[in-house]
Structure 1
Amino acid sequence: MSEELDEIKEEGDDYYTFLNIPRNAADEEINNAYRRLSRLYHPDKHTDPDRKAEAELLFGKTKKAYEVLSDAHMRAIYDNLGTAGLETQGWEIVQRTKTPHEIREEYERLAREREERRLQQRTNPKSSVTMTINATDLFSVYDDDSPFLDLRDLFGLPHIEISGMTLNQAIEAPLTNRDTAILSGNLSSQNGNGSGGINCSIRRVTSDKGWGEVEVGAGNGLTIAAKAFRNFSRGMFGNGSVITHFTPNGLRVGTVTTLANQLDKHTVGYLTWKAGMQSGMNTMIIRDTPFQHLVCSAYIGIPHTYIAVSYTHKMPEQEYKVKLTGKAGTFGAILEYGAEKKISQNSSLAASLALGIPTGVQLKIKLHRASQTYAATIMLCEEILPAPVIYGTLVPLMSWLAVQKLIIQPYMRQQKQAELLKQREANRSRLLEKRREALAAVELMRETVRRIVEQEEARKGLVILQAWYGQLVVEGSTEECGSPEVVDVTIALQCLVKDSKLILQDSSKCSLPGFYDPCPGEEKNLRVRYLFHAVTHEVTIKDNDSLRIPKQSHRLET
């Protein structure tokens, strides 16, 4: 479902919650809920002109909810498109003669086409900037007989230089639903020597199981490559490429073939062969779960042979990742550890420290923002010494804590507050209308609630003492009552009590009769204090949680 249609559904009324029935409710449940609310809101039951007008509005809403959910076609459109789909879009999408199943299939097909059109309007640019910084002078000062004036002699400053930089840029241009053109380029400089290249490729999706690609590049000679991907069966796929490189020294040809197999729900195994320009064989196993990411690989080839293990521990709630990597082979050994933090919806910051023989100590920092990546590799020392290891670990950590405390957290709070204020202002008129409707519903419920309370008290059943809905900050506190952030829903809940039971579905409670959303966009809770068998009970739930009372666990200790 597209984001635009999600927004449309959110703005409309929730008929399921209004009738207090589950989304898979049967026809009998819908009929029973309709009859219950009809008895409450039918205009003929009210003689006062003002109450009668309010009852007409609420009875009209009850009737509309029943008409939609009791009709299989309208219900299918409502489930996919919301109330806006019922007004215009739904009947434009499907014909009245189609079955509910066909309506859902038609909607899903059009949603896919809409997404394809959105993709065609984007070039999907991707870019990266990578710097290599030599900061070994911070920890290892070498004697220099250079006749030039050195800043270290005047100010005692270490010599830090950018020894290399690489720029990469790529854009995609969809030509048809199956064809995509990709243009990419790179430019690099290392110790005063530069190089670059440009590549253009055309990718065609041949079927739902594969695609092919032809690429032409220019830089250090002409390069022509052909690539292909194929999904062989459920859980098994492979890809291959043939690369031809025309150099001043002659023609070079290389091939790369990869075969992958889904070992289980979270594990994939890869086997890769390289021949020609660079010969070797690599096997890799990747296991990815919501909380862990493990990669084990072994490579045999030219010029190096090695084994590597990488483990990442994910903390989704804190939006943190902690990573540890070990690699050893004919080139030496490397141990790397670091962390990654998501700092906004589309941005993440990562830092790691690599200890290697003979590579020394390197600090790596990476900022990823949307489709852009900025990375820096800082060479701290050519040998593994305690000082660069300690500083390379503690300085990024302390810097991150300071930046988060002084800059990021205040900025995020300010942004959230500004967004909430903007949303409240935009919803002010709608909020006032919903509040007026809720108050009108409560007034119409009072006589019915009075009878329900008398019946429940007579049998020592379920009596709602107090109930609040909204931002409940302090547990057990009633200070928020009367605040614009909290709604008193005691009467509204008591009206839903039947046979000494109250059942609420797992959806937002703001669409229940007598309820409204006092703080759109913010977290809300529902707190209920009630009597059952003359004993006080209390429970607090989140807005989207289901509720079933009475329960022994809600009983308050006396």
Structure 2
Amino acid sequence: MDDEDERLEEDFYQFLNLPRNAPQEEITNAYRRLSRIYHPDKHTDALRKKEAEVLFNKTKKAYEVLSDPHKRAIYDSLGTKGLETEGWEIVQRTKTPQEIREEYELLAQQKEERRLLQRTNPKSSISVSIDATELFNPYEDEYDEFGSDGFPSVVVKGMNFSQSIEAPLTLNDTAFLSGQLSTHKGSGSGSVNVSLRRITSPDGWAELEMGFGSGLSFAAKGFRNLTRRIFTNVSGIVTSTDRGLTLGFVSTLAHQLDKNTVGYLTYKASGPSSMSTMVVKDTSRYRAQVNFVLGIPHSYFAITYCHKLEKHEGRLRGAIKAGTFGAMVEYGLERKVSEHSSLAVSMTVGVPTGVMLKIKLSRGNQIYNFPIHLCHEVLPSPIFYGTVTPMVAWIIIRRVVVEPYIQQQKVKDIERHRAVHHSQMLARRREAEISIDLMKETYRRIVEDEENRKGLIITKALYGRWLDLSHRDLGDAITDVTIPLQCLVKDSKLILHEASKCQLPGFYDPCMGEDKSLYVQYSFHGVPHEVTIQDTDPLRIPKQYKGMFNLNCYCFSFLFSFTTPPLS
């Protein structure tokens, strides 16, 4: 759907200041509270009566939808569009809310199936192997005619290209087409594979594959959940070459040990045979992996640890691997460049491979790998320059290129979004101004009642861009919401739920697309307080302290001990 056809969604729950699981009684009470403010009969002036009628009709519409179980089920599933979209009329009034939800899920599933038919989901990977060992060659060639004045050469010694697309035929059947082309030191090879995967049940799938390359190959693969915690993956392949038929077999048995830990046992009989055991622990903060492989001709032991940075901004990774082939240590960092792109840099130091710098750029479904071989031996200089140079280069590029580009794109997206919804935003701003004007009499009454009981009084409330709130500067990106917030006070309490505040009565979005906050100054029992929350955070004032009850009980017991005569 184009942006020009988009419409700002109305949130009936937030307009009535209700949680999404609100019972009928709370819905009715919220409707009655707003009806006292917006009902046309409450106003004598002709203009105010007309303006109040518009807001009263909006209140009435929200109440009618949320108080009707059928309409509420539709609204909860699809929003206001579900109440108006043609084609949903097949839902009969005799159906229960649960049946309505199931009907909508079926239609949504059919829509998703049609969408899948038009989707290919292409994926590609490009790898360029670079030999830069002459940069750190500790030995001089005595036969080099240029001597020390010659420039070291950097050579591309290999390249690999792979591309794949998937063609969903139905929700259960998917066809795959992939190709690979590689070259190394002047010789190349390639292959093309076609496969068909079918989801046989909720617990498994089966796949058949045919490949063309150095020979003709046929493969069969399968996945199956054996129990709730155990699953297996099996594949077998037959390849026809000039030397005859070769057989291959790989089988993996996995067991989920706990919520975040999975153990794998793999047997491989294709090419070099091996038996491996792997345990992976993946949490929200880190991913740790231990792997032991016993095979012919090589066996090894590996430990990998990956620390996840906050807000999914990147990962720190370290690995140690040792076996019959030698030993190696790897460390690196992965950072997000943009919403869909990430850059990873790692250093590998080991024997007999030497020192290697790996750079990987991921953008959407495209991956670009650049392994750079710096030195055949383990020397301090390639390790130092291979570690420091990418860090310095990344800092410069991020400051000079990435951050300005991201900020520029963010500004463009906000401007485009505002341009699309400009007329609706003006209408909502005007609606908020009218709503505040109609609330003034109710506001004065609530303030008077709260003052008499020394209750909760909102002295100042600002809503808008965080920077403006911090400077208390009332500008275009911030609005005064003292009156509408006070009108939400009931029994000396103010409760706002976990949702954007821009659709509360008397509110509007003064800075669409930007981060917003709500700043509140209030007095309770004559004591001033202030609080600032993010736009979607819940708010409850005055705050309730768990220790207050215990403190009151302690004070009462202390006074009671002085006023009660001792027992004889």
Say whether the fold is shared (TM-score over 0.5). yes
Residue in structure 2 matched with residue 308 of structure 1 by the alignment: 302
Is 1:8–1:82's contact at 8 Å kept on the other side of the alignment?
A: no
Is 2:469–2:517's contact at 8 Å kept on the other side of the alignment?
A: no
Residue in structure 1 matched with residue 541 of structure 2 by the alignment: 549
Deviations 1:111-156 (A, max 9, x none): 3332332222111111111111110111105545779x86x776x4
State how far apart, in whole Å, the 2-side matches of 1:491 and 1:65 are: 22
Secondary structure, in 3 states, of the residue corresponding to 2:223?
A: strand
Q: Which moved further from structure 2: 79-88 or 117-126?
A: 117-126
Matched, 1:38 2:30: no
Residue in structure 1 matched with residue 327 of structure 2 by the alignment: 333
Offset of residue 440 of structure 1: 0.6
* Aligned equivalent of 1:297, options 291, 298, 309: 291
Offset of residue 222 of structure 1: 1.6
Offset of residue 476 of structure 1: 5.4
State how far apart, in whole Å, the 1-side matches of 2:373 and 2:301 are: 24
Offset of residue 57 of structure 1: 0.4
Offset of residue 54 of structure 1: 0.7
Secondary structure, in 3 states, of the residue corresponding to 2:471?
A: coil
State how far apart, in whole Å, the 1-side matches of 2:285 and 2:349 are: 26
Alignment of 1:147-296 (within 5 A): 156-296=150-290
* Aligned equivalent of 1:466, options 442, 460, 464: 460
1:87 aligned partner, one-letter code: E
Matched, 1:384 2:381: no
Is 2:124–2:366's contact at 8 Å kept on the other side of the alignment?
A: yes
Residue in structure 2 matched with residue 360 of structure 1 by the alignment: 354
State how far apart, in whole Å, the 2-side matches of 1:430 and 1:385 are: 65
Residue in structure 1 matched with residue 448 of structure 2 by the alignment: 454
Matched, 1:520 2:537: no
* Aligned equivalent of 1:502, options 466, 469, 494: 494
Gaps of 5+ in 2: 546-568
Residue in structure 1 matched with residue 521 of structure 2 by the alignment: 529
Offset of residue 459 of structure 1: 2.1
State how far apart, in whole Å, the 1-side matches of 2:487 and 2:402 are: 46
Matched, 1:140 2:132: no
Secondary structure, in 3 states, of the residue corresponding to 1:384?
A: coil
Offset of residue 502 of structure 1: 1.3
State how far apart, in whole Å, the 2-side matches of 1:270 and 1:104 are: 39
Offset of residue 10 of structure 1: 8.0
Secondary structure, in 3 states, of the residue corresponding to 2:105?
A: helix
2:252 aligned partner, one-letter code: T
With over 3 angstroms needed to count, the CA separation of the structure-2 counterparts of 1:368 and 1:93, relative to structure 1, is farther
Deviations 1:386-409 (A, max 9, x none): 000000100011110110011000
Secondary structure, in 3 states, of the residue corresponding to 2:424?
A: helix
Offset of residue 23 of structure 1: 0.9
State how far apart, in whole Å, the 2-side matches of 1:501 and 1:143 are: 82
Is 2:357–2:386's contact at 8 Å kept on the other side of the alignment?
A: yes
Q: Which moved further from structure 2: 216-225 or 468-477?
A: 468-477
1:118 aligned partner, one-letter code: R
* Aligned equivalent of 2:45, options 39, 45, 48: 48
Secondary structure, in 3 states, of the residue corresponding to 1:11?
A: coil
Alignment of 1:414-425 (within 5 A): 414-425=408-419
With over 3 angstroms needed to count, the CA separation of the structure-2 counterparts of 1:176 and 1:30, relative to structure 1, is closer
1:53 aligned partner, one-letter code: K
Deviations 1:203-260 (A, max 9, x none): 2222222221111112122211111111212121111111112222222111111111
Matched, 1:538 2:535: no
State how far apart, in whole Å, the 1-side matches of 2:261 and 2:141 are: 54
Alignment of 1:481-496 (within 5 A): 481=474, 483-496=475-488
State how far apart, in whole Å, the 1-side matches of 2:325 and 2:514 are: 54
Matched, 1:130 2:122: no
Secondary structure, in 3 states, of the residue corresponding to 2:315?
A: strand
State how far apart, in whole Å, the 2-side matches of 1:93 and 1:406 are: 56
1:123 aligned partner, one-letter code: T
Deviations 1:434-464 (A, max 9, x none): 0110111111111111111122222222221
State how far apart, in whole Å, the 2-side matches of 1:421 and 1:175 are: 39
Is 1:80–1:104's contact at 8 Å kept on the other side of the alignment?
A: yes
Is 1:506–1:545's contact at 8 Å kept on the other side of the alignment?
A: yes
Residue in structure 2 matched with residue 556 of structure 1 by the alignment: none
Q: State the TM-score, normalizing by the size of structure 1.
A: 0.94
Residue in structure 1 matched with residue 102 of structure 2 by the alignment: 105
State how far apart, in whole Å, the 1-side matches of 2:221 and 2:296 are: 23
With over 3 angstroms needed to count, the CA separation of the structure-2 counterparts of 1:80 and 1:158, relative to structure 1, is same
Offset of residue 518 of structure 1: 0.8
Secondary structure, in 3 states, of the residue corresponding to 2:84?
A: helix
Secondary structure, in 3 states, of the residue corresponding to 2:528?
A: strand
With over 3 angstroms needed to count, the CA separation of the structure-2 counterparts of 1:142 and 1:291, relative to structure 1, is same
Matched, 1:80 2:77: yes
Is 1:296–1:310's contact at 8 Å kept on the other side of the alignment?
A: yes
Secondary structure, in 3 states, of the residue corresponding to 1:28?
A: helix
State how far apart, in whole Å, the 1-side matches of 2:519 and 2:389 are: 46
Secondary structure, in 3 states, of the residue corresponding to 2:177?
A: strand
With over 3 angstroms needed to count, the CA separation of the structure-2 counterparts of 1:189 and 1:333, relative to structure 1, is same
State how far apart, in whole Å, the 2-side matches of 1:10 and 1:259 are: 50
2:278 aligned partner, one-letter code: M
Secondary structure, in 3 states, of the residue corresponding to 2:393?
A: helix
State how far apart, in whole Å, the 2-side matches of 1:355 and 1:95 are: 68
Paired residues in the alignment total 545
With over 3 angstroms needed to count, the CA separation of the structure-2 counterparts of 1:143 and 1:500, relative to structure 1, is closer
With over 3 angstroms needed to count, the CA separation of the structure-2 counterparts of 1:119 and 1:422, relative to structure 1, is same
1:454 aligned partner, one-letter code: E
With over 3 angstroms needed to count, the CA separation of the structure-2 counterparts of 1:153 and 1:347, relative to structure 1, is same
2:123 aligned partner, one-letter code: K
Deviations 1:316-357 (A, max 9, x none): 326110000111110001100001011111111000000010
1:370 aligned partner, one-letter code: G
Aligned residues with identical type, % of pairs: 56
State how far apart, in whole Å, the 2-side matches of 1:265 and 1:8 are: 44
Is 2:462–2:469's contact at 8 Å kept on the other side of the alignment?
A: no
